[in-house]
Amino acid sequence: PLQVPAGALPAVWEGLTRLRNLDGLVITMPHKEAVVPLLRALGPTATLTGTVNTVRRRAEGGWEGEMFDGEGFRDGLERSGHSPRGASIFQVGCGAAGRAIAFALARAGAARLTLRDAEPVRARQLAERLVQGWPELKVSTEAKDPAGYDIVVNATPMGLRPEDPLPLDPAALSPSQVVADVIPNPEVTPLIAAARQIGCATVTGRAMHEGQARLAAAYLGIEGWEA
């Protein structure tokens, strides 16, 4: 891992480009949007979301990137036995990973998707783009709690640190719901722990991490790799 402070990526990128034996990188926050102007080409999901989490060197020069957070989340959800097709989904967080997840859920056939974000305008902008691409999908930014939804998604970083507040009130959850988190470490976040205590089925951030890792490995030409 390379620890690059926010704002320093352009300077670091010049050095990385000079490394002759570096063929690819996985990008994490806070650089998933900042890396985009440094690339010569974007894959379809990266173009759609304006975010990137994996880059590879192009034979003709420069770098290209793609975003696998969303499809990795969808893959982890399905491998855990919970298909988003036809489901009503409540998602908190519309940042880089959240945008990718929302588009992946729409592609997978979700019936209803409600978005919530600390910056309401970000949720509304994402909702507008989803409606443009999937007019049959019912998209809303109005609901404040997850009561009554099939799947509840935390796509925020809340839970990375012990002092973080919960991304939503677990009192609104019921045992029939599936609760999924994007945070791989700690794997059992306070939200996942609270959901399990209520009796909800849960999908941890490890499932998403392994799902996107499989896709990123294939993109980087690493054959025979399995999380």
Q: Which residues are catalytic?
A: 32
Question: What number of other Cβ atoms are within 10 A of residue 30's Cβ?
Answer: 15
165 cis-preceded (ω within 30 degrees of 0): no
Cβ atoms of 102 and 94 within 8 Å: the answer is yes
Closest CA to 92 of 137, 154, 152, 4: 154
User: 48: Cβ–Cβ under 8 A, 6 or more apart, which residues?
Assistant: 103, 129, 133
User: 185: Cβ–Cβ under 8 A, 6 or more apart, which residues?
Assistant: 160, 205
5 cis-preceded (ω within 30 degrees of 0): no
Using a 10 angstrom Cβ sphere, with 0-12 exposed, 13-18 middle and 19 or more buried, the burial of residue 214 is: buried
Distance CA 4, CA 189 (A): 25
